[in-house]
Amino acid sequence: MDGPVQLNQKQILMEVIEACGEWFVRVVEDSNKDTRSLELESCALAFAEGQRLRLHVS
């Protein structure tokens, strides 16, 4: 993911990272932060894609 995106005056940041054998998806919408830990990369990428669609980020 390339970095923060401005969308309707909201700043959105999405990250997918691997650390210590776990995959983390972090979604930041303005001041709302959500971090999910998943065991499989495929699950993390699927979750991130769902969030991208939910937030209408291209």
Mind listing the pLDDT tens digit for each residue in 19-30?
999 999 999 988
4-58 tens-digit pLDDT: 555 556 789 999 999 999 999 999 988 899 999 999 999 999 999 999 999 888 7
| Domain around 51 | 5-55
- Total domain count, the chain: 1
Phi, psi for residue 41 in degrees, rounded to 5? -60, -40
Name the nearest CA neighbour of 24 among 2, 53, 1, 45.
45
Residue 14's CB: how many other CB atoms inside 10 A?
A: 20
